[in-house]
Chain A
Amino acid sequence: MDTLQALREGFAAALTFANLMWALIGTTLGTAIGVLPGIGPALTVAVLLPVTFSLDPISAFIMFGGIYYGAMYGGSTTSILLNTPGETGAIATAIDGHQMARKGRGAAALTTAAIGSFVAGTLATMGLTFFAPVLASVALQFGPAEYFALAVLAFCGVTALLGASLARGLFSLFLGLALGLVGIDQLTGNARFSFGIPQLLDGIDVVILVIGLFAVGETLYQAWHRGREEMEVVKLHDFTGMNRDEWRRSWKPWLRGTAIGFPLGVLPMGGSVIPTFLSYVTEKRLSDHPEEFGKGAIEGVAGPEAANNAAAAGVLVPLLTLGLPSSATAAILLAAFQQYGLQPGPLLFSSRPDLVWTLIASLYIGNAMLLVLNLPLAGVWARVMLIPRPLLFGGVLVLASLGAYSLNRSMLDLGLLYVVGVVGLVMRVFEFPLVPAVLGLVLGPLSEQQFRRAVAISEGDVSVFVTRPIAATLLVAAAAVLVGPWMVRRWSRRPLQEPAAR
């Protein structure tokens, strides 16, 4: 088979000592970057570009691939240990991951994240290896109508995360939607709710909201309740990996997370929020014990982490086959290709097969390297929980403020971070769920823009959402997500009630 032969040659080129070194440097650097809140792989690759210009392109791309996969993995570490997601893709992980860490199962959470990332990364890279052109052409079938339908599906999934009180859950969601209104309206170029402040023209960065609600909010909340919850001291003997039961509960979410994350990553829409949360909601819905979710269910870590890494691999499909950048990192990778005089796109596979296949081979290698690197580290990282509280929270706030400021080098962002932190404290005290606000900020602008694009293209005809087959299918799926659990409950209750009636 052609592909296998090409892949074998790719491995031969990637498995030199020098290239393995670049892969190691890339994955280590990527993991470290992923840990820092607000600093993503896009910026890292951009900063390294001038440094790598003296390298040959193959080595440079092996390193960039390592940074990319490493950053996706590193984001989960702070999520789990400090309830401070480093990137948007790690928000879902924080919900149950941090609860596990508080119960002393931090090492297990980190382990399932590492193995899940490896499994998903490897399977998704295989998808990239064998099905890239087919997948890319399917992804092009997605237009504004389909993206809107997908956003509706995601909104329906959010209903599972609204928490105990519908009113408070929906308030949180609408708070996110309202924040999403701020900034330039993409379609007309008009500024909305920016109050004449130039920095607000670009809207409120989701990273600010996430770091503010989670990291700053959590710190304030801990200070608020200090002395009341000191019983959460972690026991040392728990710094072991996963036990048998946790393995049993993890492997299905890994596979399901991959199945959800990879195709959504291929879609040129960007963002890891939707795949990770759809995976989280799926696990919660399929679980035999949904009441454990939010209190430290390992499925809630295994699924989203797998989805996150699978989506990251999916992003490379349109990039390599069509030259289509669908995320910030993909855009800078594209620029990096161009800097070497290469043009990703329909001709790259035929013009520089050596480079493409070496890059793909190095993705497999980088994945394996990440696993080897991070499995033993899980126990070490978990000891972060033993750092005395004062120093730990001091460090968290310093990192949060640095991350927020360096996003756009704006003092306004820093001020906004602290305001959001206070909002986070109030929401925690009155038991408002935080996650719907983040999802509202991500999904609101997306669904509004795509809806208006779809209607503008169809000259005002709203029927496009039901006449286009993919959009219609997604909307039916959304309806199923919304009423499905209720139907299942009704059905499963009937056989129980009937014998009782007799």
Chain B
Amino acid sequence: MRFLARVPLAVTVAVLAAAPAMAQPAYQQLRIIAPAAPGGGWDQTARVMQQVMQRTGVVRTPVVENIPGAAGTIGLARFIGAERGNGDALMVSGLIMLGGIVTHQSPVTLDDVVPIARITGEYEVLTVPAASPFRTLDDLVRAFKERPESISWGGGSAGGSDQILAGLIADAVGVAPRRVNYIAFSGGGESLSAILGGQVSVGVNGLAEFAPQIEAGTLRALAISSAERLPGLDVPTLREQGVNVEFENWRSVVAAPGIGQNDRRRLEAAIDAMVRSVEWRDMLQRYRWLDRYLAGEAFARFTTAEERRVREILRELGTGGEGAESPAGAGPYPLFVLAGLALFGCAAVVNLRTHRIPNAEARWPKWRSVALIGVGVVLNLALAERAGFVVASAVLFWFVARAFDERRPARDAAFALGVSVAAYLLFARLLQLSLPSGWLAGWL
């Protein structure tokens, strides 16, 4: 294995001997935030970390939490806001988040969190369906240079690693990256089906997700973005076919802002112990991830350099920010929808004036009941994060019950507390969703 050679042998041996000897877990609990939906690359990274940390005894109970959306920038904003100063939390991050921050003009960036370490890398592959007329990368590049827009590139979300690589390839063969007809799909499944079905000319994706199709022969890999061919996978590199591009999608972990030096050192030590374990090596192999462990100041410098690179490529691609104009431009659809909304809104108002609505007129509303629910809702919103979910839910329940029944406030209060505690235990304990526990934190 090539990546094994990167780690000095002595370290490997020392780790093999040391890993199982860790008796006392460094952490009782550690929260690992995956800023993506279950099933994707970041989620898998978080869950693999969870397994390895638990098995090697680094952490007694690691918990994974998913906060999906917008190339991880929603998770990033949430992580910065909710975990500030929390030394027992990590978030998975990486190159795609850098792309997301630029593309979506995120108000928060990776400068707002504490860098811990880069941990894995993954190569990208260019694939076509077995029946495609493109036999080699040369065929593709020739057609691409002749008429760039005729080649549709299918891959993951806009501004992500897949689109970045497509832009780099265009640049390398002398086509303006802006002319890449990139078709963004929202997940690995969607783009895989479009590539398998020949809906797009070529697919550009992470290797792990596509390797099974390549091995089965349903997809033909035209090129891989590594420096040299990978052992056990007969796919030529971009470079050996005359396209001077080398690229990999890296993943990392970051810690919450505002943590102390001690917290930071403990987290770095925990990650260090994790990446040096045998279990971690097994997992890297199973998921076809590359060992790209890089910690401390070196990692911080690397992130800054990458951010500059990504920003530049994305500007050339014309993705994100002002003046963004891809072949799949936004068009008149939002205007059409808003015009329709205004038109039918007016029509509905006219319609309501001419047709009597028995509902609205013939029956007297119970304003008092609705107002009571309103009070419950406002209190629920105000209390949820401060006083905790049990208190907030119980208050909501009591006011709603009160809105329907004035006579038995004591019974309603008892039920309110019972239902809220039961619901909290169900969601927080059984389903392991982190609900704010607030005032009752010590009791539950």
Residues of A within 8 A of B (CB): 36, 39, 42-47, 49-50, 53, 139-144, 165, 167-168, 170-171, 174-175, 177-178, 180-181, 183-193, 196, 198-199, 201-202, 219-220, 222-228, 268, 270, 318, 322-326, 328, 330-332, 334-335, 338-339, 341, 343-347, 388-391, 393-395, 397-399, 401-402, 405-406, 408-411, 414-415, 418, 421, 425, 428-432, 444, 448, 452-453, 455-457, 459-460
Contact = CB atoms under 8 A, between A and B. Distances in A.
A391 B40 CA distance: 41
B183 A457 contact: yes
Interface string B73-90: 110011000100000000
Nearest to B397: A394
Contacts of A222: 404
A174 B340 contact: yes
B394 to A, nearest CB: 8
Contacts of B359: 428-431
B369 A189 contact: no
What band does the interface of chain B fall in when counting residues whose beta carbon is under 8 Å from A? 35 or more
Contacts of A411: 381, 384-385
B103 to A, nearest CB: 4
Given A393-B403, A418-B377, A459-B327, 5 more contacts: A184-B104, A185-B330, A198-B77, A322-B218, A394-B401
Contact of A189 (B38, B158, B217): B158
A198 B348 contact: no
A219 B369 CA distance: 10
B212 A189 contact: no
B227 to A, nearest CB: 26
Contacts of B40: 331
11 contacts: A49-B47, A177-B337, A188-B330, A201-B69, A344-B212, A346-B213, A346-B216, A390-B405, A398-B423, A408-B74, A409-B433
A457 B380 CA distance: 49
A444 B333 CA distance: 10
B254 interface: no
Contacts of B286: 338, 341
Contact of A459 (B106, B181, B404): B181
Interface in B327-381: 327-331, 333-334, 337-338, 340-341, 344-345, 347-348, 350-352, 355, 357, 359-360, 363, 365-366, 369-370, 372-373, 376-377, 380-381
Contacts of A175: 341
A47 B432 contact: yes
Nearest to A202: B69
B113 to A, nearest CB: 14
Interface in B55-83: 64-71, 73-74, 77-78, 82
Interface of B: 37-40, 43-44, 47, 50-51, 54, 64-71, 73-74, 77-78, 82, 100, 103-108, 149-150, 152, 157-159, 181, 183-184, 186-190, 192-194, 196-200, 211-213, 215-218, 286-287, 319-320, 324, 326-331, 333-334, 337-338, 340-341, 344-345, 347-348, 350-352, 355, 357, 359-360, 363, 365-366, 369-370, 372-373, 376-377, 380-381, 384-385, 389, 393, 396-398, 400-405, 408, 412, 415-416, 419-420, 423, 426-427, 431-435
A222 to B, nearest CB: 8
Nearest to B77: A198
Contacts of A425: 370
Given A190-B330, A347-B212, A428-B359, A225 B340 contact: no
Contact of B74 (A201, A227, A346): A201
Given A47-B432, A324-B192, A457-B152, A225 B363 contact: yes
Contact of A202 (B50, B70, B327): B70
Contacts of A178: 337-338, 341
Nearest to B369: A223
B38 A46 contact: yes
A140 B196 contact: yes
A397 B366 contact: no
A185 to B, nearest CB: 6
B74 A414 contact: no
A185 B326 CA distance: 12
A143 B70 contact: no
A190 B408 CA distance: 53
A393 B404 CA distance: 8
B370 A220 contact: yes
B348 A394 contact: no
B54 to A, nearest CB: 7
A391 B286 CA distance: 51
Contacts of B396: 394, 397-398, 401
Contacts of A202: 68-70, 74
Contacts of B199: 143-144, 457
A182 to B, nearest CB: 10
B235 to A, nearest CB: 17
Nearest to A165: B351
A198 to B, nearest CB: 4
A196 B347 CA distance: 32
A187 B328 contact: yes
Given A174-B337, A389-B404, A328 B39 contact: yes
Contacts of A418: 377, 381
A188 B329 contact: yes
B411 to A, nearest CB: 9
B77 A199 contact: yes
B412 A394 contact: yes
A456 B330 CA distance: 11
A343 B70 contact: no
Contacts of A388: 405
B158 A399 contact: no
A326 B104 contact: no
A39 B66 CA distance: 13
A224 B186 contact: no
A171 B381 contact: no
Contacts of B37: 42, 328, 331
A405 B43 CA distance: 20
B432 A405 contact: no
Nearest to B66: A46
B344 A171 contact: yes
B351 A168 contact: yes
Given A140-B193, A331-B187, A402-B393, A201 B44 contact: no
Nearest to A53: B51
B366 A227 contact: yes
B212 A343 contact: yes
Contacts of B403: 223, 226, 390, 393
Contacts of B50: 50
Given A331-B37, A345-B213, A395 B419 contact: yes
Nearest to B362: A228
A344 B431 CA distance: 27
Given A188-B329, A456-B328, A459-B150, A390 B212 contact: no
B161 to A, nearest CB: 13
B212 A345 contact: yes
